[in-house]
């Protein structure tokens, strides 16, 4: 880019943000939800700088520290502070990479101290109670059973569940293909019980009216499109109430329960990292610190659903 053109672009903060948005979408492969979160957090900084009369291309570490302190002063939760500052560091990394700045003032920007927070976890009995609370006489009853079993059996994010397709199912091999954050794909083992519930659902699904373009989605809403995140949230809340569970839970609770139960059963931490689709094992270590010498195959060996199924059915292969 010519020098005078670069100077004009540098003066246009909106243009820089648009370039950053393209970078996150095309280079980093962020999903729409993640992209919106990054841009929303960046806007908090841009609003601060505008109020202080500061420019993004000349802002200093001291001024960024004042912004970070302001987040604390207005009562933003430490975890949310850490997320916002992480996004801002990503933005300044982009500014340096794209030659908008020569220095990166966020390199020495410290985030808040965050203690270890263990997420809410359901017991196997509580999960069974929620599944038993499903009314199988309703048209969506078998679908809901398959949803809960898939969430628990595979440890999926709710967005991954909603986007799961029939063409992603490899039941003969015992795997499903999942597209996670950043459009990264992974193969996840699936339990025999979840396979059974999905197969029953696929029989019911043949009687549902499906909207054009949604034929390959596994889980459908009553109006024929693939299920939404909000729909799954409401389903979980409703079933928890009916099962008498007072814990504050969401679809993500099934993912936490999946990981915790595997670890309690002796599965290898690295294997669980692969199952959950965590880029860093440090993310997985929120659950516990255990010996890491066993292999990935222990997932199928130790998952409560598989153990219970083998006892009842002598592990008949589907």
Which residues are marked as active site? 157, 181, 252, 255, 278, 287
**If we measure between CA atoms, which residue out of 56, 44, 61 comes closest to residue 15?**
56
Q: 298 and 273 in contact (C-beta within 8 Å)?
A: no
- Please state whether beta strands 169-170 and 175-179 pair in parallel, antiparallel, or not at all (unpaired): antiparallel
User: How many CB atoms are closer than 10 A to CB 204?
Assistant: 14
DSSP 227: P
Q: 161 and 171 in contact (C-beta within 8 Å)?
A: no
Exposure pattern of 237-250 as b/e (b: 16+ CB <10 Å)? Answer: eebbeebebeeebb
Q: Classify residue 96 as exposed, middle or buried by CB count within 10 Å of its CB (0-12, 13-18, 19+).
A: middle
Tokens representing 163 are 């986007």
Strand partners, 176: 169, 188
């Amino acid at each position: 880019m010519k020098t005078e053109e670069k100077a004009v672009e540098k003066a246009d903060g909106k243009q820089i943000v648009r370039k950053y948005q393209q970078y996150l979408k095309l280079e980093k492969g962020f999903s729409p939800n993640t992209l919106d979160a990054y841009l929303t957090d960046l806007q908090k900084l841009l609003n601060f700088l505008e109020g202080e009369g500061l420019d993004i291309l000349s802002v200093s570490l001291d001024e960024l520290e004042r912004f970070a302190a302001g987040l604390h002063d207005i009562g933003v939760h430490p975890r949310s502070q850490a997320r916002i500052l992480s996004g801002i560091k990503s933005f300044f990394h982009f500014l340096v990479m794209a030659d908008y700045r020569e220095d990166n003032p966020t390199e020495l920007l410290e985030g808040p101290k965050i203690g270890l927070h263990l997420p809410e976890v359901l017991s196997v009995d509580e999960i069974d109670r929620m599944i038993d609370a499903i009314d199988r006489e309703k048209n969506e009853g078998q679908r809901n059973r398959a949803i809960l079993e898939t969430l628990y059996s595979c440890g999926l994010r709710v967005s991954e569940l909603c986007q799961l397709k029939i063409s992603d199912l490899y039941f003969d091999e015992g795997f499903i293909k999942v597209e996670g954050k950043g459009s990264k794909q992974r193969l996840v083992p699936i339990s025999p019980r979840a396979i059974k519930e999905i197969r029953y659902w696929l029989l019911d699904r043949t009687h549902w009216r499906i909207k054009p373009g949604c034929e390959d989605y596994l889980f459908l809403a009553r109006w024929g499109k693939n299920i939404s995140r909000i729909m799954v949230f409401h389903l979980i809340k409703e079933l928890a109430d009916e099962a008498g569970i007072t814990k504050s839970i969401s679809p993500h609770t099934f993912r936490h329960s999946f990981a915790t139960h595997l670890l309690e059963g002796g599965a290898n931490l690295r294997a669980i990292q692969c199952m959950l689709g965590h880029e860093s094992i440090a993310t997985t270590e929120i659950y516990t610190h255990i010996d890491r010498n066993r292999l990935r195959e222990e997932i199928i060996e130790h998952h409560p659903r598989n153990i219970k199924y083998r006892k009842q059915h002598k592990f008949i292969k589907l």
